[in-house]
Amino acid sequence: MNVMETLGSRSIKLRRGTSGRLTEPAWIKVLLIGVAMLFLAVFLILPLLVVFTEAFKKGIEVYFASITEPDAAAAIRLTLLTAAIAIPLNLVFGLAAAWAISKFDFAGKSLLVTLIDLPFSVSPVISGLIYVLLFGLQGWLGPWLQAQDFKIIFAIPGIVLATIFVTFPFVARELIPLMQTQGSEEEVAARVLGASGWQTFWRVTLPNVKWALLYGVILCNARAMGEFGAVSVVSGHIRGLTNTIPLHVEILYNEYNSAGAFAVASLLAILTLITLVLKSLIDWKAKIHAQFPDEVAGGRSYEH
Partner 1 sequence: MSIEVRNITKTFGNFVALKDVSFKVETGELVALLGPSGSGKTSLLRIIAGIEVPDEGSGTILLHEEDTTDISFRDRKVGFVFQHYALFRHMTIFENVAFGLRVRPRNLRPSEEIIKQKVMALLKLVQLDWLGDRYPSQLSGGQRQRVALARALAVEPSVLLLDEPFGSLDAKVRKELRRWLRRFHDELKITGVFVTHDQEEALEVADRVVLMNEGRVEQVGTPDEVYHHPANAFVYNFLGNVNLFHSRVEKGKVYLGDIPIDLPSEAREDSKTAFVFVRPHLLEIELQPNGSDHFCAKVEHINAAGPVVKVDLLTDWGDPVHVELPHERYRALGLKRDDEVFVIPKERRVFTDHSKPSRGEEGGLP
Residues that bind partner 1 in the complex, under the rule CB under 8 A:
185-186, 188-196, 199, 203-204, 207-208, 289-290, 292-297, 299-300, 303-304
Rounded-to-10 torsion of CA 158, 163, 165, 168: -150
Q: How far is the CB of 288 from partner 1 (least distance, A)?
A: 11
- Name the residue type at position 191: R
The least CB distance from residue 187 to partner 1, in Å, is 9
Which of residues 189 and 273 has its CB atom nearest to partner 1 in the complex?
189
DSSP tag of 195 = -
Name which of 154 and 215 has its Cβ closer to partner 1: 215
CA atoms within 13 A on the CB side of 234: 33
Q: How far apart are CA 232 and CA 66, in angstroms?
A: 21
204 vs 259 by CB, closer to partner 1: 204
**Measured from the CB of residue 292, what is the shortest distance to partner 1 in angstroms?**
4
Q: CB nearer to partner 1: give 69 or 186.
A: 186
How far apart are CB 220 and partner 1 at their closest, in Å? 23
Cβ within 8 Å of residue 145, ≥6 positions away: 135, 151, 152
Q: Tell me how far, at minimum, the Cβ of 199 lies from partner 1, in Å.
A: 5
Nearer residue to partner 1 within complex by CB, 43 or 302: 302
CB contact at 8 A, 200 and 190: yes
Q: Give the single-character DSSP code of 155.
A: S
Q: How many CB atoms lie within 10 A of CB 199?
A: 13
Asked whether the beta carbons of 15 and 21 are under 8 A apart, the reply is no
Contacts of 102 (CB under 8 A, 6+ apart): 175, 176, 179, 180, 182, 184
**Closer to partner 1 by Cβ: residue 182 or 244:** 182
Give whichever of 33 and 188 is closer to partner 1, judged by the CB atom.
188
CB of 280 to partner 1, least distance (A): 21
Report yes or no: 168 and 236 within 8 Å, Cβ to Cβ.
no
Rounded Cα–Cα distance for residues 57 and 68 (Å)? 17
Nearest-approach distance from CB 219 to partner 1, in angstroms: 22
**Cβ proximity of 279 and 215 under 8 Å:** yes
Which one, 47 or 183, has the nearer CB to partner 1?
183
Question: To the nearest whole angstrom, how small is the minimum distance from the Cβ of residue 189 to partner 1?
Answer: 4
Name every residue whose Cβ is closer than 8 Å to that of residue 172 and which is 6 or more positions away in sequence.
93, 94, 95, 97, 98, 101, 116, 216
